[in-house]
Structure 1
Amino acid sequence: MKAPRSPDPVRDESAYWFARRRERDFSAEEQARFAAWLDAHERHRQEYELLDGLWTAADLIPAARLRQLCEEKRPSSRRRFVQLAAAATVAGVALGLGWLLYPSGDYRETLQTRVGERQEVTLPDGSVVQLNSRTRLEIHYREGRRSVELQTGEALFSVSRDPARPFVIDAGPGQVTVTGTRFDVLHEGGEVRVAVESGTVQVAGKAADQPVILTAGKGTRVDGQGRVAPARDVNLQAIVSWRDGKLVFDNATLAEVAAQVSRYREQPLRVDPSLANLRFSSVFSSDDTDTLLSALPRLLPVQVRTLPDGSSEIIPL
Structure 2
Amino acid sequence: MDKQQLAILEIAADWADRFDELNEAERRRLVTWLQDAPEHAQAFNRMRRLISDTALTEALEMADMNAAEPEPVQQSLRRPAAPRHSASRQPSIMARPLRRRQAMAAGLAGALAVPLAGYWLLHEDRSETSERTLHFASAVGERRHLTLPDGSGLLLDASSAVSVHFSDRRRRLVLEHGAARFDVRHDAERPFEVHTPMADMTALGTSFSVDHLSDASELRVFSGRVQLDAHDGGQLVLPARKWAQVNNASIRTGAFDPDMHQDWQNDWLDADSMRLGFAVERLARYSATPLKLDDPKLADLRFSGRFRLGEPMASLELIGALFGLQTKRRNGAVYLVRTDRG
Q: Please, what TM-score do these two structures have when normalized by structure 1?
A: 0.69
Match of 2:314 among 291, 304, 310: 291
Could you say which residue in structure 1 is the equivalent of 2:212? Answer: 187
Match of 1:246, as an amino acid? Answer: W
Match of 1:258 among 276, 280, 297: 280
Q: Deviations over 1:47-101 (max 9, x none)?
A: xx9xx968624414347x9549999xx9896779636879xxxxxxxxxxxx979
Structure 1 residue 116: Cα displacement = 1.2
d(CA) in 2 for partners of 1:261, 1:101: 47
d(CA) in 2 for partners of 1:159, 1:299: 39
Q: Secondary structure at the match of 1:184?
A: strand
d(CA) in 2 for partners of 1:5, 1:296: 58
Match of 1:291, as an amino acid? Answer: A
CA gap of 1:102–1:258, structure 2 versus 1, over 3 A, is farther
Q: Deviations over 1:179-212 (max 9, x none)?
A: 4210010111132111100001000022233x21
Could you say which residue in structure 2 is the equivalent of 1:93? Answer: none
Is 1:109 aligned to residue 134 of structure 2?
yes
Q: Say whether the 8 Å CA contact 1:168–1:177 is kept in structure 2.
A: yes
Structure 1 residue ranges (4+ consecutive) displaced by more than 6 angstroms after TM superposition: 52-55, 68-71, 83-86, 99-103
Aligned Cα root-mean-square deviation (Å)? 4.1
Match of 2:268 among 220, 224, 246: 246
d(CA) in 2 for partners of 1:259, 1:69: 37
Q: Say whether the 8 Å CA contact 2:35–2:41 is kept in structure 1.
A: no
Could you say which residue in structure 2 is the equivalent of 1:3? Answer: 3
Q: Deviations over 1:206-232 (max 9, x none)?
A: 2233x21001111112213xx662642
Output aligned runs, 1:80-119, within 5 Å.
Answer: 82=102, 106-119=131-144
d(CA) in 2 for partners of 1:100, 1:6: 12
Match of 2:247 among 223, 226, 229: 223
Would you say how many aligned residue pairs link Structure 1 and Structure 2?
270
Q: Secondary structure at the match of 1:311?
A: strand
d(CA) in 2 for partners of 1:101, 1:171: 34
Output aligned runs, 1:137-152, within 5 Å.
Answer: 137-152=162-177
Q: Say whether the 8 Å CA contact 1:254–1:280 is kept in structure 2.
A: no
Could you say which residue in structure 2 is the equivalent of 1:304? Answer: 327
d(CA) in 2 for partners of 1:141, 1:256: 31
Q: Secondary structure at the match of 1:21?
A: helix
Is 1:202 aligned to residue 199 of structure 2?
no
d(CA) in 2 for partners of 1:308, 1:69: 49
CA gap of 1:66–1:297, structure 2 versus 1, over 3 A, is closer
Structure 1 residue 302: Cα displacement = 3.1
Could you say which residue in structure 1 is the equivalent of 2:201? Answer: 176
Q: What runs of 5+ residues in structure 1 fail to find an aligned partner?
A: 32-48, 87-98
Structure 1 residue 4: Cα displacement = 5.6
Q: Say whether the 8 Å CA contact 2:162–2:177 is kept in structure 1.
A: yes
Q: Say whether the 8 Å CA contact 1:153–1:187 is kept in structure 2.
A: yes
Match of 2:37, as an amino acid? Answer: I
Could you say which residue in structure 2 is the equivalent of 1:61? Answer: 37
Q: Say whether the 8 Å CA contact 2:204–2:227 is kept in structure 1.
A: no
CA gap of 1:139–1:216, structure 2 versus 1, over 3 A, is same
d(CA) in 2 for partners of 1:235, 1:101: 45
Q: Secondary structure at the match of 2:293?
A: strand
Q: Deviations over 1:243-272 (max 9, x none)?
A: 232223344343333232222223123164
